[in-house]
Structure 1
Amino acid sequence: MTQRRYRFPWLARFARFARLAGAACRTSIAVAMAFPAAQAQAGAAATATAATAAVDAIVQQPRAFGYVLGDLITQRILLPADGRTVDPAALPRAQRISAWLERRPLQWGTDAEGRRWMHVTYQIVNAPQTLTAIALPALSLPMTTGPALKTGAHLISVGPLTPQTALGKGGLLEMRPDRPAPVLPTAPAARRMGLWLGALSATLAAWLGWWGWRNRRESMRLPFARAWRRLRRLDPAQAEAWLCLHRALDETAGTVLRAGALPGLLAQAPHLQPLRARLEQFYRQSDQRFFSGMPAAEPFPLRALCRDLYLAEKRARP
Structure 2
Amino acid sequence: MPKVLITPRSFGKHSDEAKRILIANGYEVVENPYGRILTEEEMKKEIADVDAVIVGIDPLNGEVLSCAKNLKVISKYGVGTDNIDIEFCKGHNIPVTVTRNANSDSVADFTFALMLAIARRVVEIDKSCRALNWGKKASIGVHGKTLGVIGTGAIGRGVIKRACGFEMKILAYDVYPDDEIAQEYDATYVEFETLLKESDFITLHLPATRETTDLLSEKEFSMMKETAVLINTARGELIDEDALYDALKNKRIWGAGLDVFKKEPPEKIELLELENIILGAHAAASSVDAVNKMSLMAVENILANFK
Normalised by the length of structure 2, the TM-score is 0.16
Structure 1 or 2: more helix by fraction: 1
Taking CA–CA contacts closer than 8 Å with sequence separation of 6 or more, which of the two structures ends up with the larger relative contact order? 2
Larger Cα-atom Rg: 1
Normalised by the length of structure 1, the TM-score is 0.16
